[in-house]
Structure 1
């Protein structure tokens, strides 16, 4: 049985929708495997390849996928652990980080699912563990800045401006790094997420990067 610290979201690893058909799973795996295979001298990544192969072997087997989907469905009812960080507590800092968190969730959704690129307000509530009243201001702000828009069925969808903003601030945002980098490894549903790399300043002393993207 997997624990909260080792459960991997295989759909995130393959960057596909949970509704993806077998042919899509095979095609995506083949393309990504070439890129991250350890024999690739430029982009090879043994750990990422291991996760990718594990994801493919599970999702390409109908019986294993059915069991896995049940386990994933149970976890889908709970907020992502990253949103339990103090970064999202009340106050101005928490408000700014909630905006970044929303953008990250929409970014991951847009990248993985072309048929349903957005998320409903209820889905954001479930993923973040905040009532919609605590998300309304953040969503209004993101719409006003044209970082998000309204898609089909009133879903909230990230725009190209929102993507550019998020990617440009990735190196300095702890929240964005955990959610976006975590999605690459399928670990957004675990409490074991990475911290952004912080370059050592002159003199060799390490310091933490900013916690909030303004």
Structure 2
């Protein structure tokens, strides 16, 4: 078991403020419940985790060291939650992906026999740094909207063109609806 990202408090189902008596009491209950010899609820992996959690949280020195790590773990979780719940980031992602598809679409329309663009040129054209564009390229490839050509360049696929056309049609319909409602 990798202890780096394990939440021992969650594993023992206790508060980080729990005292030694509470830790011992809960440990005894959970150890009995998940002991491998228990035919009904035994779970060797869970039992090993509970034993390790008790060993760390019951020892004052180990607990202090773990609590420092635990605070960083919590901070990391909150950062992930904040980023995941941010509407701005998902909207920004969609804009970047639309830019990538648009650039590749125009490139293919202009030169059907040489439709590819290299990563560096694409980063420059969509104004997106390497550390961010990799995610978008992965996503667009997985969707089947772009591909890597034999020469290593990126190009839009037929499915990608269909997606751009459908998105464009949706935007035109929305624009007409908004215009019609304003009159």
Q: Shorter-chain TM-score: what band?
A: 0.3 to 0.5
Q: Greater Rg, structure 1 or structure 2?
A: 2
Q: Which has the higher contact order (CA 8 A, sep 6+)?
A: 1
Name the TM-score, length of structure 2 as normaliser: 0.47
- Indicate the structure with greater helix content: 2
Name the TM-score, length of structure 1 as normaliser: 0.40
